[in-house]
Amino acid sequence: MGYEQILYEAKDRVATVTLNRPEKLNAWTGVMGREVRQAMDEAARDESVRVIILTGAGRGFCAGADMQLLSGIVDAGTVREGDERPARSPSAADAPARADFRGPYAYFPTVPKPIIAALNGATAGLGLVIALYCDLRIAADTAVFTTAFSRRGLIAEHGVSWMLPRLVGLQHGLDLLLSARK
């Protein structure tokens, strides 16, 4: 399958999914989200794959949502109050829908193979959320983590306010969430 914003390779029992917008520090888009989900489904169905690595091309893992793209949508007036869509149930590996796993990234825990986030450079906002959904996170010396939500006046969404304190402890998790410190 051909992808626009990610690279996918399955070799030696390892599927590697690479976020591939290095000129934007792999800022997340709707296209990228759909492609990552398709790649996870592909890896889940491939019997030769035993583990999935999720990483970013260039000098960053994922700088978060593509704010320039989001600004363009809002400026064009295509997003209005009441445009919310109901969440869809996960599809990875035909996992059964569960009431507690219906968010846009909550399919990660339904993938039946371990997902390792290989984190290089910026891992911010939504990029951090994606990394937290992975089963294991391995960070390069160059990795920088920030929640970024509070700095932008946004709520800590997509489960980060639940996951982060459970992974790093309540005090450190709240510090990162409330201060957006790096």
pLDDT digit string, tens, across residues 60-101: 999 988 877 655 444 445 544 444 444 444 444 444 444 444
Q: Are strands 136-139 and 115-119 parallel, antiparallel or unpaired?
A: parallel
Query: What is the CATH architecture of 6-179?
Result: Alpha-Beta Complex (3.90)
Per-domain residue ranges of the chain: 6-179
pTM: 0.77
pLDDT tens track for 31-46: 999 999 999 999 999 9
As given in the structure block, the two tokens for residue 174 are: 């709240």
CA distance 49 to 29: 26
DSSP 121: B
